[in-house]
Structure 1
Amino acid sequence: MNPRILPIGTLCLGAAILAGLPWLLSTGLLNAAIQMLIAALFASAFNVVCGQAGMLSFGHAAYFGVGAFATVHAMNAVGGAGIVPTPLLPLAGALGGLLVGVIAGWFSTQRTGTYFAMITLAIAELLHSIAPHIKSVFGGEAGVSSMRMPSMGLSFGSTAEVYYLTLAWVLASLVLLYLYTRTPVGRLALGLRENRHRLAFLGYDVHRLSVLVFTVSAMFSGIAGGLQVISNEAANYVLFESTLSAAAVLNTYIGGVGTFLGPALGAALMTFFGYAVSDLTQSWLLYQGILFVVVMMFMPQGLAGLFSGTAVLWRRFGALRLLPMAASFVAASVLLAAGTAFVVEMLRRLFSRDYRALLGADSSTAWPPVPLYGVDWAPGAWLTWAVPLVLLGVGLALARIARQRLQGLLDQPSAQTDAPHAP
């Protein structure tokens, strides 16, 4: 069987599943799916600069925001009829991202490394600072709002129609980004990451190449911003905030900065994580940070590297030999997550303002019980803190067992190879 058939089949299956989501999800979850698609495109555009060219940008929200405002003004043009039909509005975002990307890229790529990162951050912060004061363009504190107009026989008034428009643009953009990676410019971008001095020695204009790569990334970031405006029908200067740039960095590295679809996977999962966990706890940003640290320490290739590595082990050793190690790893992850969540939620409640007020009002009890997971836990009781300690201890033990089993599997082939040569 051709090994290329499996990835193509997987992508087609993924596209088919995405196309069927409007029949499976509620309106609220479908809106979350739209945000997942937009975040996936933004992370993939950011990966053009960071993952492929090795230029870490801390201010990519600038081009996302510029694309958003270019789109909302295109929607309001001609008396609200729009410059182009609604399905083509992301082209305005692409144009805005491209123009600003050329200018910002020419300045920022004059330097490399930390200096490049700081310049990109400064450009984004500059836009974030001046946007509230240029009300004719950015609308001030209120921002700029608009409405989706009917076009091509579609009203674009339903969430499903907006979802399919977003899906079509995201899939088309990902295909174009993949084709870009196969071009000579895309191949040379890898040289920027590996050894830009050698590229210059070979006669290439490194600065011009860097500007070109930066512009491609900014253009597709503008498309993502345009899709955001089509979904929300509004744009505000908060789109230039550093939190959006940080989210792109976080999503890309969690998904896998060295792979093409890794950033899209990381962005989709982290966006869903935010929607799901933010309704359950106020500490969801802390959990995101913990997850990022864990991935960087133990999975430097990201989630995509984890999946590809698991597939390699599956083909090499088979399911039966891999199952005990995988079971230990899954059980360890669940126990460690449960123990960590217990400690974080208990501490959050203990240090909350409501608990301090309760502690001061009730003088008869030194430490009132804390309700958590349907149980009232006494903060001063040893059992309260023994539960997370047991969860964390057993989880660490299972993680060590899983690592030993994996190492044992990896050592077996070498042992079998060396056996015939033993005296």
Structure 2
Amino acid sequence: MNFTKNNYVWFILAALFLVLPLIFTQSFALSLMTQMGIAIIFALSYNMLLGQVGLLSFGHAVYYGLGAFFTAHILNLIADGIIWLPITFVPIFGGLFGMFFGFIIGIVTTRRPGTPFAMISLGIAEMVAASALMFTAFFGGEAGIDANRTSGGAMLGISYGPQIQVYYLVMTWCLISIAGMYAITRTPLGRMANAVRDNPERAKFIGYNPTRVRWMSLTLAGFFAGLAGSLYIINYEIVTFETLGILESGRVVLMAFIGGIGHFWGPIIGAVLVTFLQSALSNYTEAWLLYFGLLFLVIIMFSPGGIAGLIAKHEPVVRAKLLRRLIPSYSVVAATGAVMLLGFVSIIEMIYHVESAISGHEPMLLFGVLINPSSLNPWLVIVLVFVVGTSLFVRSTKNVGKAWDDLGPDLQKKG
């Protein structure tokens, strides 16, 4: 997807943000889409480090959380009448606060790229999270800090009390942030960030300071992460020390890798998918974290470029109008994979049910079927389904490889 040549993409994106609440009118859907907008900004800010300049960070939630805490204090100052500021523009100050700490932390951390940077970022994340429990005046201790997003009163009929108004606020800033971060990739700084990522020695040879480029990239990434954190507190009206911690940093790593760090729009896909799965799966199963981790593992092992990489791989096939030759093998893989997944999920859910101290000996509802995990027959059937599905899936993947091999010569002719 070329955001420069295809300017209509921006209009489609804006129109999509505008009409989604008209299609999905449920309160849960509106809340979920709001979370997705925040996650998109957060994931793209992380991709400015990992995807653009090659810095693997395990502490990106520091800027996200600090932006949220600073915004909470601003909202409370507005509520107390000490300052006056439209809520619409409050996220800018959360972004500036994240930017400030990105600037300060980057002075030290960007001197050592690679593994040292990753470990330093992890240490800083744990240090800041621990400090949140010590400096209660700013962080509020374990209870965190709550705020009231309607504290500024209504302006032009907008009070941000209804969730729909918060949704449009988040999506407005989301669109602005996407455009801003994409614009940065087209600047000389963005180009040099890619050069430093690929070959820092050559970048230094032609007169650029790799450390300074990393530092500037971290500072800008801190701004957008802080802006996302500011929208987080406006949406939830409470922020705790967990927002700064390693779990939140790990979540944004999952978004970037699952979506694909090699493409600008990859983290957008990852943010939407991870947010949806986190909300949807947690409503249906207690083992959702296990499935989450397995999805990440599968993506890393079989598609290092993420979902965006898979889409990009098929782009020339679609242009050459050869996709129909892959559909039969893909259909078989999808069908056998569904059987394998059915068996695997069933085994996990049955084990989790049996291990439960409360309901371990009671029947359970599995995919609409009432079964008794304490008897042997359900286990035999489910294990058989998993084994057969896995065997057929492995065989069918070989047919996919053969289909791609057969497609190669024709693809080169039309390429």
Q: TM-score, normalised by structure 2?
A: 0.91
**Partner residue, 2:380:** 385
Matches within 5 A, 1:92-171: 92-148=93-149, 149=152, 150-171=154-175
Distance 1:233 1:308, change over 3 A: same
More displaced, 203-212 or 246-255? 203-212
**Contact 1:108/1:120 (<8 A) preserved:** yes
**Contact 1:335/1:392 (<8 A) preserved:** no
| Cα RMSD (Å) | 2.4
CA distance in 1, matches of 2:276, 2:192: 34
2:21 is the alignment partner of 1:22: yes
Give how far 1:337 is off.
Answer: 2.1
CA distance in 2, matches of 1:335, 1:67: 45
**Partner residue, 1:339:** 343
Distance 1:416 1:371, change over 3 A: closer
**Contact 2:339/2:385 (<8 A) preserved:** no
Q: How many residue pairs get matched?
A: 407
CA distance in 1, matches of 2:191, 2:380: 54
Question: Which protein is bigger by CA-based radius of gyration?
Answer: 1
More displaced, 120-129 or 307-316? 307-316
Distance 1:372 1:104, change over 3 A: same
CA distance in 1, matches of 2:234, 2:126: 24
Q: Look up the SS of the partner of 1:279 in the other structure.
A: helix
**Partner residue, 1:44:** 44
2:56 is the alignment partner of 1:62: no
1:24-49 deviation line (CA, Å, top 9, x unaligned)? 23112211111111111101000000
Q: Look up the SS of the partner of 1:375 in the other structure.
A: strand
CA distance in 2, matches of 1:66, 1:348: 37
Q: TM-score, normalised by structure 1?
A: 0.89
1:216-269 deviation line (CA, Å, top 9, x unaligned)? 111100000000011112222221111000001011000001110101110111
Between the aligned residues of both structures, percent identity stands at: 34
Give how far 1:392 is off.
Answer: 4.7
**Partner residue, 1:411:** 406
Distance 1:117 1:27, change over 3 A: same
- Could you tell me which runs of 5 or more consecutive residues in structure 2 were left unpaired when the two chains were aligned: none
**Contact 1:331/1:395 (<8 A) preserved:** no
2:77 is the alignment partner of 1:73: no
2:214 is the alignment partner of 1:210: yes
2:82 is the alignment partner of 1:84: no
2:392 is the alignment partner of 1:397: yes
**Contact 1:53/1:189 (<8 A) preserved:** yes
* Counterpart amino acid of residue 348 in structure 1: Y
Distance 1:133 1:324, change over 3 A: same
**Partner residue, 2:238:** 234
CA distance in 2, matches of 1:106, 1:3: 34
CA distance in 2, matches of 1:318, 1:414: 12
Runs of 4+ in structure 1 off by over 4 angstroms are 2-11, 368-371, 415-418
More displaced, 312-321 or 346-355? 312-321
1:89-147 deviation line (CA, Å, top 9, x unaligned)? 10111110011001111111121211111111111111111112212211222222221
Distance 1:186 1:277, change over 3 A: same
CA distance in 1, matches of 2:339, 2:316: 26
CA distance in 2, matches of 1:223, 1:152: 23
- Could you tell me which runs of 5 or more consecutive residues in structure 1 were left unpaired when the two chains were aligned: 359-367, 419-423
**Partner residue, 2:371:** 376
Q: Look up the SS of the partner of 1:404 in the other structure.
A: helix
